Structure 1
Amino acid sequence: MKRAFITGVTGQDGSYLAELLLSKGYEVHGLVRRSSSINRGRIDHLRDDAETSARFHLHYGDMTDGVSLTNLIHAIEPDEVYNLAAQSHVQVSFELPEYTASTDGIGTIRLLEAIRASGLDCRFYQASTSEMFGSTPPPQVETSPLAPRSPYGAAKVFAHWATLNYREAYGMFAASGILFNHESPRRGENFVTRKITQAVARIKLGLQESLVLGNIDAVRDWGYAPEYVEGMWKMLQHDEPDTFVLGTGVGTSVRDFCDLAFSHVGLDWQDHVKHGDQYERPNEVDGLIADPTKAREVLGWTTTTGVAELARLMVDADLAALEGTA
């Protein structure tokens, strides 16, 4: 039985990845931060299920505490490590730049060092991001220049290059996945797609009247998160550690995503969406669109869920969650 260690297991990607690995027969260990409130809603079903609970284990630790990471690596002795933990909200990174750098950037070094010092022959996955490309024009590929436009993007560039350096300096199997935006009903409520779909559901049910957004002309490559965690797993099953871009290859503006989401319930987005300066970023990234050719040809990875279907399934999930509250 393979043993995997996932940081960020309580997040969107971590929960889907844990599901995938458990379905493949893995023993899965997840890192959770100790806090005054419990936020494990995305993974409670895995702990409650009789078939998976015996193979799913949670451990307290923190990406800002290298000792806890070192101790966990020694105790768990994983075959695969997936580093998904991060302060991943771009706007928040401008307000918490030092914390973002410590968690996303230096935190990756702490984890890589824990693995290196342990002497384990395990495989490491680093969750890199399309935000590293920043002002580089789309489409973006593995070799496109990195030009981040936020503390989040800059911290992820540091972590990305650290991963490549540990691969080359120490011969570690350290793979980096540059994932473009991927969404689902489990997406955090402060991310724009979920903010839109939740507002659509609330407006449709008469619980809310309007939605305030920032730059609606920004273009992103939006895919479905469960398909992207399959790509993460495929990277660690490949013969050699490498870097791969994952995305759909299709760009959609925030404006058009609004149209898709509101029209799904028979509403006109222009009647409800308002602009708010407070949601404008100090530095804007105009367009991020992937060229996932390498992942398709080398890993056999493809996406099947388009942005229109993605918007519909997210709206439907938010409507279902709000049933009985209207």
Structure 2
Amino acid sequence: MTKKALITGLTGQDGSYLAELLLEKGYQIYGLVRRSSTSNLERISHLFNQIQIVSGDLLDQSSLMDVVNDCQPDEIYNLASQSYVPLSWKQPALTAEYTALGVSRLLESIRRCKPDAKFYQASSSEVFGQPDESPQTERTAFRPRNPYGVAKAYAHWMTVNYRQQYKLFGCCGITYTHESPRRGTEFVFRKITRTAAMIKLGLANELKLGNLDARRDWCYAKDAVCAMWMMLQQEKPDDYIIASGETHSVRELVECAFNCLGLDWQDYVSVDPAFYRPDEPVQLVGCIYKIKAQLGWKPQYSFQQLVELMVDRDLKELSDNP
């Protein structure tokens, strides 16, 4: 019997990779898209004839209930949110509506219309804020320090509460920063690989960044969505950290990206305080012992391989369409 999956955030980085993965596994896929959305559909243009697009909005309870009732999905992956941390400071209420309350509406729709569906909630390392331990585990206290992290913490605990109160199969994947060529250029990893490629091609001559000593736990988005799927194949729901288990500084990332292109990064990179975060998280790195031990998951791509992959893709894309 063909499994059916509903994906919110289909047009985003994770949604597009997850759709590809599920199609390979023979799923029938429904993608939730806002009717008035101006989102970039480019990431899923190659999948249009294999996916059924359904109209709905995380701000509208009735539309979510209609979608869940009509599709009757076996698995639901909530990857939709306002996910850009700096924007969450400028639009905190909107971030809360989509990233926090939107999850409440979706959970309630599942409870009422398809209570046996398995639900994946995209949680985030931003829930830890400035943690009192490093690396962080699934038991580390939540101390979010920006509106996005606060909204994600709410969504996480609502999923846990619906699991406990209503016995829903709800899992939270606490994902650390995960990247790919489909990542928006407003995010620092893609900003660096993209600008480095532009400099190599003579399309730019400078890269401005914030704190070069900031460290991040980066992994490949394709690895992350594989973990999401594996979580919903278990007999019992649980929450897991999805990460690489190691950190690298922005400085290391810059040096690696420019080295891939035969360039000395110090000739092109300057520090601009305007790009510093208001509350810079300290040493966010995930402990992946639990997901490795219980699910057998681990990242397939190293930091070096991920940087090389993205630089090569940006260079090719810019060369083809300067």
Residue-by-residue CA offset, 1:188-228 (whole Å, 9 max, x unaligned): 11111000010011000000011111122111111111111
Match 2:90 to one of 87, 92, 95: 95
Deviations 1:251-297 (A, max 9, x none): 00111111111111011112111222222221111221111010001
- Give the alignment of 1:13-52 within 5 angstroms: 13-35=14-36, 37=38, 39-47=40-48
Distance of 1:29 and 1:230 partners within structure 2: 18
Residue 253 (structure 1) aligns with: 249
Q: Is the 8 A contact 2:107 2:162 kept in 1?
A: yes
- Give the 3 Å change call, closer, same or farther, for CA 251–318 of structure 1 in structure 2: same
CA distance in 2, matches of 1:38, 1:165: 31
Structure 2 length-normalised TM: 0.97
Instruction: Give the total of aligned pairs.
Output: 320
Letter in 2 for 1:33: R
Query: Which residue in the other structure is 1:116 paired with?
Result: 111
> Which residue of the other structure, out of 50, 60, 63, is the alignment partner of 1:65?
60
- Structure 2 SS opposite 1:4: strand
Query: For residue 321 of structure 1, what is the aligned residue in structure 2?
Result: 317
Partner of 1:50: none
Opposite residue 302 of structure 2, the aligned amino acid is: G
Q: In 2, distance between residues paired with 1:322 and 1:282? A: 32
4+ residue runs of structure 1 moved beyond 6 angstroms?
Answer: none
Residue 83 of structure 1 aligns with an amino acid whose one-letter code is N
Equivalent position SS for 1:138: coil
Report the counterpart of residue 261 of structure 2 in structure 1. Answer: 265
Q: Which amino acid aligns with 2:149?
A: G
1:34–1:271 CA distance, 2 compared to 1 (3 A) = farther
2:198 is the counterpart of 1:197 = no
Please report how far the alpha carbon of residue 325 of structure 1 lies from its aligned counterpart in structure 2 after TM superposition.
4.9
Note the C-alpha offset of 1:324.
Answer: 4.3
**Alignment TM-score, normalising by the size of structure 1:** 0.96
Matched residues in 1 for 2:4 and 2:152: separation? Answer: 26
Q: Distance in 2 between matches of 1:140 and 1:78?
A: 33
Q: 5+ unaligned residues in a row in structure 1: which ranges?
A: 48-52
Moved more, 249-258 or 280-289: 280-289
Structure 2 distance, partners of 1:106, 1:62, is 12
Give 2:153's aligned amino acid. Answer: V
Partner SS, residue 135 of structure 2? coil
Identify if the C-alpha distance between structure 1 residues 251 and 36 changes in structure 2 by more than 3 Å, giving closer, same or farther.
Answer: closer
Is 1:84 paired with 2:85? no
Letter in 2 for 1:65: D
Show the counterpart of 1:213: 209
Letter in 2 for 1:128: S
**2:11–2:39 Cα contact (<8 Å) kept:** no
1:165/1:20 CA distance change after superposition, 3 Å: same
Where structure 2 has 5 or more consecutive residues not aligned to the other structure, the ranges are none
Letter matched to residue 161 of structure 1:
W
Counterpart position of 2:273: 277
Q: Distance in 2 between matches of 1:260 and 1:299?
A: 31
Q: Can you list the C-alpha shifts for 1:218-258, whole angstroms capped at 9, x where unaligned?
A: 11111111111010001000110000011111100111111
Q: Match of 2:42, SS?
A: coil
* C-alpha deviation, 1:33, in angstroms: 2.1
**Aligned residues of 2:115 and 2:168 also touching (Cα < 8 A):** no
- 2:248 & 2:254 partners in 1: Cα distance? 10
**Backbone CA RMSD of aligned residues:** 1.2
Q: Contact 1:135 / 1:147 at 8 angstroms: preserved in 2?
A: yes
Deviation at 1:32, TM superposition (A): 1.3
- Equivalent position SS for 2:286: coil
Corresponding residue SS for 2:164: helix
Superposed, which structure 2 residues align to 1:126-275 within 5 Å?
126-136=121-131, 137-275=133-271
Match of 2:41, SS state, is coil
Q: Residues 52-77 of structure 1: CA distance to partner in whole angstroms, max 9, x if unpaired?
A: x24x1111222112221111111111
Identity of aligned residues (%): 49
Q: Please give the alpha-carbon distance, in whole angstroms, between the structure 1 residues aligned to 2:89 and 2:11.
A: 23
